[in-house]
Amino acid sequence: MSASDPLAGAAQEWYKKGTDAMSRQNWDFAVECFSNAVKMKPDVVLFRQTRHGCCRKLFGDNGTGARMAGVKLMGTRGKCKKARMSKDWKSLDTAAEEGMLVNPWDGQLFADIAMASVELDRGEIASYAYERACEIDKENIPWLLAWGYVLRERGDYARARRCFERVYKIDKVHAEARTMMGKIDAESTIDRSGLGKADSTRDVRSEDSKKAEVDAYEADRIARKGGPKESAAPGESVEADLKASIRKTPEALGSYQKLADLFRESRRFQEAIDVLGKALELQPGSVGLIEMKEDIELELMREQFAETTERSRKFPDREPLKVKCAKLKAEMAAREITIFAIRVENNPNNMKMKVELAERYRKGKQFSLAIPLFQQSVADSRLKEDALVGLGECFMRSGKVDLGRRQFEKALETLSHDTKPDSFKNAHYFLGRLYEKAEKIDKAEHHYNEILSQDYEFRDVLKRLEELQGADEFEDFDDE
């Protein structure tokens, strides 16, 4: 902070007062001091971190904040939502910081600070706030993705990749996470080489020429390092060793599988598929090889779909890209159903596989095919709640409303937001919709409120509840 900046000097004075109050455990005054420092210099991450730490001390580190924090934060959440919708990022930042005085363990507040900081070009604060949000809700995929993009933008490739890896561990079919891991690997390599510091001519190259440069660089790097070559000495290259092993004993299927795994890990999907194809020529009926090849084929399709979808977002006016996205999505869905249907037939006792197939049928609106699979899967205690919610949706969408309602209510007898947040919210949402349609307003409001207490932005719940109740933010109340 420059000494010529009067706000910087004043902010530093408030920071000193705050640290002194901290040493005396005067948390109220410390928070007030650090709040003033943040207002004067909102781009200094240290001020934010210290303020939030003192906010936690206000509540004795209880992990939940003020009593009835959820109710007390409803006004703040309304302000945040309004600021997000109007893209008033400074107001969003201010409102979220105010919310910290009620519950400094609220992940959504940290996510709002992070979102505002991204738009206000406060990268360090955005990274810190997303990190806190993801510590609070470790499996929140949108926050992990956003944090990953912030870290990538800041050149922190290792941590960015770990964010996308966490997403991939949570959702094994998350195409965007897989795509970003590959991109970050390439970008970090380029950055280390110095190619990322090229002049402005690099900025005007086409997307295809950029990809070609990455490929050319990789080829040159491998050549310079004496990388995977057929003539590499034993132990120099795992890939070369496996290829040599296959040439020496072509009937040993283990080498083919290891080489395919190696290609798969480095995202060389087509090469992995080709290797397994050769292995299947030797042993056509191997279920393990067939399923491994199918899994990799699906990964390749998902990556192609993710890349096409990303290009379509970048170039929304290109109609052929939209057509290609739709085609790839339909092909991928059909292929998944074919593969899982065969596996369910071969493994009739594998309930998890039945749920996977049922989910594909549900997404494709083939409810009559999904229903018996969900019904069978209810017997597995690990899958019971998810299966009941899926079953309820299928009954509801196929016109069997009472049957659907019973499944949702049965699921909610044991469902917890902490263990299965998606199923918890979906069950309450569908019940809310059913009761709203039946004009049982009190019951509909109950289910919508259950969702809002956990996720204020889930689907269109807030809008529906406001329409049922009549929106009133009590703006006529005077501040005390």
Write down the pLDDT at residue 475: 55
pLDDT at 156: 87
Nearest Cα residue to 137 out of 109, 97, 165: 109
pLDDT higher than 70, residue 193: no
Please report the pLDDT score of residue 186 as a whole number.
79
pLDDT band, residue 463 (cuts 50/70/90): very high
- The structural domains of the chain, with segments of one domain joined by +, span 6-195
Contacts of 298 (CB under 8 A, 6+ apart): 173, 332, 335, 336, 339
Cβ-contact 15, 50 below 8 angstroms? yes
Axis crossing angle, helix 45-58 with helix 6-23, rounded to the nearest 10? 30
Report the 10 Å Cβ neighbour count for 314: 10
Q: Model's pTM, two decimal places? A: 0.50
8 A C-beta contact, residue 193 and residue 218: no
pLDDT reading at 108 higher than 80: yes
**DSSP assignment, residue 406?**
H
pLDDT at 225: 42
In sequence order, what E strands does 126-247 have? none
Residue 197: band (very low, low, confident or very high) from pLDDT cuts 50, 70, 90:
very low
- Considering the chain, what percentage of its residues have pLDDT values greater than 70? 87
Decide if 157 contacts 187 (C-beta within 8 A). Answer: yes
- Split at pLDDT 50, 70, 90, the class of 478 is low
Model confidence over 129-175: pLDDT tens digits? 999 999 999 999 999 999 999 999 888 888 999 999 999 999 888 88
Please calculate the CA angle 157-127-148 and round it to the nearest 5 degrees: 45
What is the 3-state secondary structure of 29-95? HHHHHHHHHHHHCCCCHHHHHHHHHHHHHHCCCCCCCCCCHHHHCHHHHHHHHHHHHHCCHHHHHHH
What average pLDDT does range 350-362 have in this prediction? Answer: 94
| DSSP code at position 203 | G
CA atoms of 167 and 174, how far apart (whole Å): 7
* Least-confidence region, from 9-13, 222-226, 413-417, 442-446: 222-226
The alpha-helical segments, DSSP class H, found in 347-460 are 351-363, 367-377, 384-397, 401-412, 421-437, 441-452
More confident position, 268 or 199: 268
Rounded Cα gap, residues 274 and 399, in angstroms: 46
Q: Which secondary-structure segment (H or E) carries 159? A: helix 157-170
In this model, does residue 218 exceed pLDDT 80? no
Residue range 6-195, CATH number: 1.25.40.10
Q: What is the pLDDT of residue 130?
A: 96
421-458 pLDDT, tens digit per residue, is: 999 999 999 999 999 999 999 999 999 999 999 999 99
Q: What is the mean pLDDT of residues 60-81?
A: 92
Q: Is residue 227 over pLDDT 80?
A: no
* pLDDT band (50, 70, 90) for residue 318: confident
